[in-house]
Amino acid sequence: MDEKRKILDIIQPRAVLQAMTDEAIEAIPVGQRIEEYVVIRKFPFKVGRESRVRKISGNIERVERSRNTVQKPSNDLYLVDKGQPLNISREHVQIEKVNNGYRLVDRASACGTKLEGEPIGGRDRGGMATLHDGDIFALGTAKTPYLFRFIALEDEFDWKRKKAVLISDR
């Protein structure tokens, strides 16, 4: 029974990112999205640009990452930025869980991040701001199509205390 609780703790979502535009949805790898949502299971959660892309017939497509790589990925979510110029940096933002809530950290991105319209970071400087449930943030310039809503689930459901109904409990 303890093993099943441990599994639930690992796979239960802590939060989700909701892509707010068609371009943001298309930037998310198919295997990481459920409709327009990306599940966050652990913090910190790092987001950046997929640099392994190629242009085929005028379209930018993701190149499959090598399974033999020893280097640990620097992001939990790699987005394909089809913009010209690019909006998303290779290491753009990080979402952190802090004692009393959440924090959005710009990881010294070139074009910056806007949280509810307020700039944080940019020009390779970095920055941070408190992130609340329902906040919308933008990755890149003022005209970026990469908009995401942060939806906190941990505060709604205390997964560790919630009694889960398991098949073996029935």
**Cα angle: 63, vertex 23, 152; to 5 degrees:** 100
Q: Mean pLDDT across the stretch 56-82?
A: 67
| Domain 2-63+72-169, CATH class in plain words | mainly beta
Confidence tier at 23 by pLDDT (50, 70, 90): very high
Judged against a pLDDT cut of 60, whether residue 121 lies above it is answered with yes
Confidence tier at 164 by pLDDT (50, 70, 90): very low
pLDDT reported for residue 170: 42
* Domain map (residue ranges) of the chain: 2-63+72-169
Tens of pLDDT, residue by residue over 73-106, are 789 999 988 877 889 999 999 999 998 899 999 9
